[in-house]
Amino acid sequence: MHNNEIDRKVREKYAKIKSAKNHKHSTINNIKMFFLSAFFGNYYKIKNNNIARKIISNYEPRMSVVDKIKSLQSEINDISNEKNEINQKRKSNKEKELSNLQNPSNMYERLGVDVLAIFISENIISIADPTSNGSLIPNVASLREYLTDELGYIIPNVRILDYEKLPEYEYQIHVRNKKVFTGKLTKEELKNNNSDKIIENLGEVCIKYSKQVFSKTDTLKLMELVKSQDPTLVNDLVPHFISAIDLTIILSNLIHSGFPIKDVLFIFERLNNYAQYTQNTEILTNLLKQDLSF
């Protein structure tokens, strides 16, 4: 083969290689241009380019991914803003709470305890849930009605709380924040939604600890009841002979011993007679027991 022929063929191959390289670079540049334009809003300008149309046909599905990324980024920004608002509110609430704690006057609201409370383990909470037809709350109301009718003893509100540290099926009864009784339900009792055992124990606690449950507030309410029927029975007795506190001690003593105070007018009449001679609460209690035992 002549040298001229060889040179010609070499030149042709070199031209083909160069053309292929140019085409490759052109394609890459068009791809770069497409994505850059997509991000800068020149999408429709590129579509007018014939080469770009081919590129778009291959890469257009990827645009949906870009849109999704933008959408997710928008959602992330919204969540971030919401989180900042929540954190700001928490910070404001903490500052307010700290301000309240620094004010001694606000501490008085934290004083006081529940006179009566029932703590129940988490696995028996359904027995106190009205939405699950729990029987405990209506049975507490029935106990209050029973003690009122039988003894004239109106027990205060009974707070019912679930306590995660209690063993399964266990319950506790507290009087003025002190545990005074611990009991346990059986699986069968829980299954049948039977709270009779708890109510029976609560009734016993109310009698046994009547001196801690029955308060001066209860006495004042009874005094108002008597006043509405015979004011002299109260005015002549309190505070001339005994105080409202003394009267509270006497009434709670009677309840503790199982004597009813329902006939409150009769009790005040007898106290008016006896208090003229003694103000000793123990003696007055025993005298009333004799009168109520006939």
Each residue's pLDDT tens digit, 30-44: 555 555 455 444 444
Q: Name the burial class of residue 124, with classes exposed (0-12), middle (13-18) and buried (19+) by CB atoms within 10 angstroms of its CB.
A: buried
Cβ 170 vs Cβ 184: under 8 Å:
yes
**Long-range contacts made by residues 74-77, C-beta under 8 angstroms, separation at least 24?**
none
Among 48-52, 95-99, 227-231, where is mean pLDDT lowest? 48-52
Cβ 254 vs Cβ 285: under 8 Å:
yes
CA angle, residues 151, 154, 158, in degrees to nearest 5: 130
Give the separation between CA 46 and CA 35, rounded to whole angstroms. Answer: 10
DSSP class of residue 70 equals H
Which residues touch 34 (CB under 8 Å, ≥6 apart)?
46, 52, 55, 56, 59
pLDDT at 72: 64
Q: Evaluate whether 116-209 and 216-292 have a shared fold.
A: no
pLDDT band at 107 (very low <50, low <70, confident <90, very high): confident
pLDDT band at 47 (very low <50, low <70, confident <90, very high): very low
pLDDT at 199: 98
| Residues shown for the chain | 294
pLDDT at 24: 47
pLDDT at 15: 53
Give the Å distances, CA to CA, from 144 to 74, 80, 152, 224: 59, 53, 10, 21
Give the separation between CA 216 and CA 224, rounded to whole angstroms. Answer: 12
Tens of pLDDT, residues 225-259: 999 999 999 999 999 999 999 999 999 999 999 99
**Long-range contacts made by residues 16-23, C-beta under 8 angstroms, separation at least 24?**
none
Alpha helices, DSSP H only, in 103-121?
none
Say yes or no: domain 116-209 is CATH 3.40.250.10: no
Each domain of the chain, given as residue ranges in start order, spans 1-111, 116-209, 216-292
Closest by alpha carbon to 176, among 113, 111, 120? 113
pLDDT at 149: 96
Cβ 128 vs Cβ 120: under 8 Å:
yes
> Which tokens hold the place of 150?
């039988």
> Which tokens hold the place of 160?
């019912």
Cβ 281 vs Cβ 250: under 8 Å:
yes
Cβ 100 vs Cβ 141: under 8 Å:
no
> Which tokens hold the place of 93?
């609430």
Q: Which CATH number fits domain 216-292: 1.10.3470, 3.10.450, 1.10.8, 1.10.10?
A: 1.10.8
DSSP class of residue 45 equals H
Among 13-22, 141-150, 280-289, where is mean pLDDT lowest? 13-22
Beta sheet of 170-175, edge-to-edge order: 158-162, 116-120, 170-175, 178-184
Cβ 128 vs Cβ 136: under 8 Å:
yes
Average pLDDT value for residue range 62-69: 58
pLDDT at 63: 53
